[in-house]
Amino acid sequence: MAKCELKIGGFGGQGVILMGIIIGKAASIYDGGHATLTQSFGPEARGSACSAQLVLDEAEVLYPYVSHPNVMVLMSQESYNKFAPELTADGLMLIEEDLVRPDPQPNGARILAIPSTRMAEHLGRKLIQNIVMVGFFTAVTGLVSEKAAREAVKTSVPPGTEELNLKAFEAGLQHGKQLAASRA
């Protein structure tokens, strides 16, 4: 894996920080690379803006802060409005298609969308939409392996919820694979 700067944005309660933890754990512990995670959130527990920033690399990460994200995962319109201008010109943006309207579109960026909240509701629990997004991220970026991401999900979610979260991961993964196949 080449160096990647990743920013995940949304609002409190969407599991943004947990997404960062899972992706970082998959990259570093289970895929043998290196990762750093920094996070930012407002004073309220739910509803305020929050973000997770990761630097992923095969080499040791010497500077842990994201300065020029080349991949973004945006889960709310507020996060899009705030963070989209930071994306590199050739970057990749993953959005929650029911909550984010990419207007204006960042110059040269590829935008891929998934209805992660709707998919999570279909699986029975809206709260797992972040795990749907982790599956989608895994499929379309190739930054972490499927095996590593599955293991990171399994070891990061509350005990007793592993099966439901793995179903959410698989739903996002399959959506991403279908999207990639349709664009090939």
Mind listing the pLDDT tens digit for each residue in 6-32? Answer: 999 998 889 999 999 999 999 999 999
Q: What is the pLDDT of residues 92-149, one digit of tens each?
A: 999 999 999 998 777 788 999 999 999 999 999 999 999 999 999 999 999 999 999 9
Residue 102's contacts (CB-CB under 8 Å, 6 or more residues apart) are 80, 84, 93, 95, 111
Give the Cβ contact number of residue 171 at 10 Å: 21
Rounded to 5°, the CA angle 12-66-111 comes to 70
* Residue 44 scores a pLDDT above 60: no
> 59 versus 167: which is more confidently predicted?
167
Please state the φ and ψ torsions of residue 91, each to the nearest 5 degrees: -75, 175
Exposed e or buried b per residue across 115-139, where buried means at least 16 C-beta atoms within 10 angstroms of its C-beta:
bbbebbeebeeebbbbbbbbbbbbb
Q: Which of 168, 171, 166 is nearest to 147 (CA)?
A: 166
Instruction: Specify which residues 10 forms β-bridges with.
Output: 50
Top-level class of domain 4-183: alpha beta
Q: What is the pLDDT of residues 75-89, one digit of tens each?
A: 999 999 999 999 998
d(CA 82, CA 143): 24
Instruction: Identify the DSSP state of 128.
Output: G
Using an 8 Å Cβ cutoff, are 114 and 97 in contact? yes
* Residue 48 scores a pLDDT above 80: no
Domain regions of the chain by residue span = 4-183
Using an 8 Å Cβ cutoff, are 38 and 98 in contact? no
pLDDT at residue 97, rounded to an integer? 96
